[in-house]
Structure 1
Amino acid sequence: MKKFLWKRAVASAISLICLIILVFFLSRLTGDPTDLFLPETATQEARDNYRRVHGLDQPLVSQFFRYVTDLVQLNFGESVRRAEPAIDPVLRGFAWTLQLATVTMALVTLAAITLGSLAAFHVGGFFDRVATFFSLMGASAPDFWIAIIAIVVFSVGLGWLPTSGTGSVWHWIMPVAVLFIRPFGLILQVVRGSMITALNSAYVKTARAKGVENRPIIFVHALRNALLPVITVIGDQTAAILNGAVIVETIFGFPGVGKLMIDSILQRDFNVILAAIMVTAFAIFILNIMIDLLYAVLDPRIRY
């Protein structure tokens, strides 16, 4: 198992290094932040001084090696917009995104595994057809469209829910609901397909022949052996929320790391952009390691 985890860790580290190089140079293509923060009437001396203070007067390669050196020391530099260490707003934003992802995926996992298992047990029946229909609709619906419709109906039309903010439980309902729909549809379908295979296995038929009740057959005997592909999809969808809840956070004014990255790109706050990407990438790296450990727990073949 150690060899398996080591290979996965090395592969993730290589991806992380490539991401650092790519994002650093692509972020510089957005232009010079001096043009945003100084008025058009600013003197050339003021512009040169601004670039010197923020290290923008150095060649691009020199800036990159300086950034890598600071990164090794866990120093992400200063935010040119907020006059504070770049890591501070990133950690604040990531804490919000992590809470949003945790709540959403906890609800998604519980609902998808329960309903997907029941749909597989009643395959071809009315419940199975209804669950499949709504899950396919959810998996196909774009997040931005659902978010806009939700605001129009529940905020503007009915006045039941606030459109933005995080001040109360009511502020969380629409962001969580919108992020819930797509992963729920995808995971339910994977659970259903995997459970159909498991329920048709010889050991399940043997358990039924011995008179074991339906609930232990579904949630004890079959589910454990059907979980490997489900865990993969759950991990992918969790990473997608951590890395891609930008649209939902922007529409609902949610102060997560996704919205922070969009704001930082528009403001050309390079250090915050790079810090946000590094923190998110590292979180996904840890998530992948945790998924690999779950594989080893559920499947003895991986441990050996």
Structure 2
Amino acid sequence: MTKLIGQRAIASLLSLLALLVLVFFLSRLTGDPTSLFLPIDASQEMRDQFRALHGLDDPLLVQFGRYVWDLIHFDLGDSIRKARPAIDVVLEAYAWTLPLALVTMSLVVAAAIVIGSLAAFHVGGFFDRFASVVSLIGASAPDFWIAIVAIVIFSINLGWLPTSGVGTPWHWILPVAVLFIRPFGLIVQVVRGSMLAALSSLYVKTARAKGVKEGKIIFIHALRNAMLPVITVIGDQAAAMLNGAVVVETIFGFPGIGKLMIDSILQRDFNVVLAAIMVTAIAIFLMNLLIDIAYSLLDPRIRH
């Protein structure tokens, strides 16, 4: 287990460094932020002072060297837009994204495992066909379209829910519901397929021959052996939410990491973009590490 964690840590560190280098230089191609933060009639002297204040007047390689040096000392720089440490701005956004992702994925996993397992148990029946159609539609429908339709129906036409913001629990219903649909559809399909293989195995037939109750066969005997591919999909979907539900957060005005990334890219707030990507990459690494540990717990052969 220790060797596995060490290998994953080294591979993730190298990937993180490559990603930061790529994003650093690509972000500079978007242009000079001076024109965004200073008035149109600003003098050349004011522009030069602004560029010098934020280290934008140095050659690109010098800026990169300074960034690497600061990064070694755990300094991710300041946000140009908010004049605060970039890491503080990013962590504040994650404080909104993490609860959103946690609530959504908890509901998704619980509902998808139950419905996918029951669909596999009743394969070919009405429940199976209905669950398959609903899950396929959910997995295929684009998030932005669902979000817009949800706002039109439930906020504008019916007036039941607010269109944006985070002031009350009612503001969370539409973002959670929209984020729920796609991963739910994907995971139901994977659970159903994996459970079909598990329910047709010899140990399940033996359990039935011994008179074990069907509920115990489905959710204890078969489900554990069917969980390996399911965990992979759950991990991918959870990582996507940690990466920030960019479209959903932007449409609903949710102040999470996805909206922060979009705003920072448009406003050329380079330090915030780099800090957000670094924190996100670390979160995804930890998520993948948890998936590997879960694999080894479910299947002892993987430990060896």
Q: TM-score range by the shorter chain?
A: over 0.9
Q: Choose 284-293 or 247-256, whichever is displaced more.
A: 284-293
1:109-144 CA-partner distances (Å, limit 9, x unpaired): 000000000001111111000000000000000000
Amino acid at match of 1:123: V
Deviation at 1:21, TM superposition (A): 0.8
Q: Which residue does 2:57 correspond to in 1?
A: 57
The secondary structure found in structure 2 opposite 1:7 is: helix
Q: Which residue does 2:110 correspond to in 1?
A: 110
Q: Choose 55-64 or 68-77, whichever is displaced more.
A: 68-77
Deviation at 1:5, TM superposition (A): 2.7
Deviation at 1:9, TM superposition (A): 2.3
Q: In the alignment, does 2:277 pair up with 1:277?
A: yes
1:234-255 CA-partner distances (Å, limit 9, x unpaired): 0000111121401000000000
1:212-250 CA-partner distances (Å, limit 9, x unpaired): 000110010000011010000000001111214010000
Q: Which residue does 2:32 correspond to in 1?
A: 32
Point out where structure 2 has 5 or more consecutive residues left out of the alignment: none
What is the distance in 2 between the residues matched to 1:40 and 1:172?
39
Counting matched residue pairs gives 304
What percent of counterpart residues are identical?
72
Deviation at 1:3, TM superposition (A): 2.6
Amino acid at match of 2:123: V
Q: Which residue does 1:303 correspond to in 2?
A: 303
Q: Which residue does 1:289 correspond to in 2?
A: 289
1:1-304 to 2 correspondence within 5 Å?
1-304=1-304
RMSD across aligned C-alpha pairs, in angstroms? 1.0
Q: Choose 129-138 or 58-67, whichever is displaced more.
A: 58-67
Amino acid at match of 1:295: Y
Amino acid at match of 1:7: Q
Deviation at 1:72, TM superposition (A): 1.9
Comparing both chains, which one has the higher relative contact order based on Cα–Cα distances under 8 Å and sequence gaps of 6 or more?
A: 1
Amino acid at match of 2:61: V
What is the distance in 1 between the residues matched to 2:165 and 2:38?
31
Contact kept, 8 Å, 2:117 with 2:218, in 1: the verdict is yes
Contact kept, 8 Å, 2:244 with 2:256, in 1: the verdict is no
What is the distance in 2 between the residues matched to 1:199 and 1:72?
52
The secondary structure found in structure 2 opposite 1:30 is: coil
Q: Choose 262-271 or 144-153, whichever is displaced more.
A: 262-271
What is the distance in 1 between the residues matched to 2:74 and 2:284?
18
What is the distance in 1 between the residues matched to 2:225 and 2:69?
46
What is the distance in 2 between the residues matched to 1:266 and 1:276?
14
Q: Please report the TM-score for the alignment, with normalisation by the length of structure 1.
A: 0.98
1:250-291 CA-partner distances (Å, limit 9, x unpaired): 000000011011111111111111111111111111111111
What is the distance in 2 between the residues matched to 1:222 and 1:78?
52
Deviation at 1:71, TM superposition (A): 1.4
Contact kept, 8 Å, 2:139 with 2:182, in 1: the verdict is yes
Contact kept, 8 Å, 2:204 with 2:222, in 1: the verdict is yes
Contact kept, 8 Å, 2:86 with 2:271, in 1: the verdict is yes
Deviation at 1:2, TM superposition (A): 2.6
What is the distance in 1 between the residues matched to 2:193 and 2:12?
29
Contact kept, 8 Å, 2:97 with 2:244, in 1: the verdict is no
The secondary structure found in structure 1 opposite 2:274 is: helix
